[in-house]
Copies of this chain bind each other. A is one copy, B any other.
Amino acid sequence: MSEHRAIIETSVHVRYAETDSLGIAHHSSYVIWFEEGRSEYMRRERESYDALQKNGVFLPLAELDVRYIAPARYGDRITICTWVGAVRSRSVTFVGEIVKPETNQVLARARTKHICIDTQTGQLKVIPQQTRECLKRYLVPGEG
* Stretch touching chain B among A31-39, A84-92, A94-102: A31-39
Q: Which of B15, B23, B35, B42 contacts A39 (CB 8 A)?
A: B15
Considering the chains assembled together, what is the distance between the CA atoms of A75 and B43 in angstroms?
8
Q: Which of A16, A32, A42, A68 has the most CB of B within 10 A?
A: A16
User: B17 near A28 (CB under 8 angstroms)?
Assistant: yes
Tallying the copies of this chain within the complex gives 4
14 interchain pairs, CB-CB under 8 A: A17-B32, A17-B35, A19-B20, A20-B20, A20-B21, A21-B21, A21-B23, A21-B74, A22-B58, A27-B61, A28-B31, A31-B31, A42-B75, A43-B75
Apart from A12-B12, A17-B32, A63-B66, what are 16 other A-B pairs with CB-CB below 8 Å? A13-B39, A16-B35, A16-B36, A21-B74, A22-B58, A27-B31, A27-B61, A28-B28, A31-B31, A39-B74, A43-B75, A60-B68, A62-B67, A64-B64, A64-B65, A64-B68
Chain A interface residues toward B at CB < 8 A: 12-13, 15-17, 19-24, 26-28, 31-32, 35-36, 39, 42-43, 58, 60-68, 74-75
